[in-house]
Structure 1
Amino acid sequence: MRHVQPAQALQARPRPRRRQVRALLVRAARGHRGRPDLAPLAGPALRLFLDWDGTVTVQDSLVQVIHEFGDPALLRRLESRVGVDLTLHEEIALEFASITAPFEEVVGWVVEHVEVRDGLGALAQRFAPVVISAGFHELIEPVLEREGVRLEVLANGVEARPEGWRVRFRDEAACASCGEPCKRGGVSGEPYVYVGDGYSDRCAALAADRIFARNGLARHLEARGVPYERFDDLHDVGAALS
């Protein structure tokens, strides 16, 4: 989610019962690229969390929506400021305030145009992952319904207003680790596997027992010497967890 340059209150949907995903300990040399060597990790089963935009989806659907209905120039101006003088929440709120289109029109466009990565259905059936997103229930769940997939979703909400859409964030508490509201609070408490691609995934990924990463998240982890496994689609994730 959100490939910015380096530098809320909705109830979660009921959690479906999911199979246990046995933990594997990533053991890799510092700065190693690609799939590291793996060894079994004893202990409780891991939960599996998936970022949505750019991870489940082929493109960042929030960026797609802003380009179609909002202000792309504003998006370009704000992206480089995230982590400098703007939080990610502040960026998202400003960008979606530029959208004045009716809710039904935007949702219809999203269902028609947002593409998901191969392997989502199989991964959902085998492991029942939790989707955790800096985006919105209202734009995620219609795509899952289109795909015939039912998953728990931890995300923000949005209210479509004629003068500009208003974001309702799931959690506004500042994280003790990164200093701004982030996803770590939604995944903490038990061992977990994290799958992500961008800025919003950094803090939650760093606390995971196993990480699958691509794009900006992969570059961030490499810069910090944190082991991870690359993925191209969600079949890769499912195969690695088998």
Structure 2
Amino acid sequence: MRVFCDFDGTITVLDTTDQVLTHRADPHWQALEEAWIAGRISAAECMRGQIALIDTDEDALDAVLDRCQLREGFVAFAGWCRRAGISLTIVSDGVDRFIRRILSRHGLEGLPVVSNRLILEGEAYRLDQPHAVPGCAAGSGVCKCAVVRELTDKRPVVFIGDGRSDFCVSQRADILFARDRLATYAAERNRTFIPFETFDDIRIALVGDGTRNLMA
């Protein structure tokens, strides 16, 4: 099987980008958030505008990131995937700099990550979105559908997520683990999913009798 996993609010307890914006950005980021929620701008436009508002003090940024907590069981889950020969890829509409800093604290630097890229230009940040796709249903900087389609082979696909950027790609999963807004979205569409609170829940479900055949 191949496991694809969202990062913010899924691997982390809270949304990492929101934490950085709250502590290190001009308050105008909230107006951009409201415009996105109201549908006046896309998720990709919102993220580009918000990232440009973040203070470029690297030490202060790291201090915020170092307070971000992983969801219970993720480190053990990543280790289990490695030992079992299961491909685990993080697919996030978040920021590579943020994700890598948090993973490195837990010895997980080697995990594959597909995300937006933070670039420092002069005295301001710019968000590069190399995985954006015109017409993406989610309107995100990372089209998760395209990423999963490109990386998927004949192995069954497991997707783990929690939010709006996961709505479309959840339809491509053979097994879907969902919480929060993604769980609500799936339930409203009668989409079969497995709820979870910790990554221990996910590991136990994947080795249980109901999915044992997917381990081949």
* Counterpart contact for 2:92–2:114, Cα < 8 Å: yes
Opposite residue 39 of structure 2, the aligned amino acid is V
Match of 1:132? 91
Match of 1:185? 146
Match of 1:101? 56
Match of 2:33? 78
- CA distance in 2 between partners of 1:103 and 1:93 (Å): 19
The TM-score normalised by the length of structure 1 is 0.74
Q: Does 1:118 align with 2:118?
A: no
Which among 136, 145, 159 is matched to residue 119 of structure 2?
A: 159
What stretches of structure 2 of length at least 5 have no aligned partner?
A: 83-87, 208-216
* Counterpart contact for 1:101–1:162, Cα < 8 Å: no
What stretches of structure 1 of length at least 5 have no aligned partner?
A: 1-45
- Provide Cα deviations, 1:122-167, integer angstroms capped at 9, x if missing partner: 1111214111111111111121111112311111111234653210
Match of 2:205? 240
- CA distance in 2 between partners of 1:87 and 1:160 (Å): 23
Q: Does 1:173 align with 2:133?
A: yes
* Counterpart contact for 2:48–2:127, Cα < 8 Å: yes
- Provide Cα deviations, 1:93-148, integer angstroms capped at 9, x if missing partner: 1111111232343123212x110011111111121411111111111112111111
- CA distance in 2 between partners of 1:80 and 1:151 (Å): 33
More helix as a share of residues: 2
- CA distance in 1 between partners of 2:53 and 2:123 (Å): 8
- CA distance in 2 between partners of 1:83 and 1:211 (Å): 28
- Provide Cα deviations, 1:190-213, integer angstroms capped at 9, x if missing partner: 331100000111111121111111
Match of 2:104? 145
* Counterpart contact for 1:100–1:162, Cα < 8 Å: no
- CA distance in 2 between partners of 1:134 and 1:226 (Å): 23
Aligned length: 195
Aligned in 2, Cα 1:77/1:234: closer, same or farther, shift over 3 Å? same
* SS of residue matched to 1:118: coil
- Provide Cα deviations, 1:182-237, integer angstroms capped at 9, x if missing partner: 21111114331100000111111121111111111111112222111111011111
RMSD (CA atoms): 2.0
- CA distance in 2 between partners of 1:219 and 1:86 (Å): 23
Match of 1:203? 168
Q: CA deviation at 1:65?
A: 0.4
| Worse-matched range after superposition: 95-104 or 69-78 | 69-78
Q: Percent identity?
A: 28
> Higher relative CO (CA 8 A, sep ≥ 6), structure 1 or 2?
1
* SS of residue matched to 2:115: strand
Aligned in 2, Cα 1:216/1:152: closer, same or farther, shift over 3 Å? same
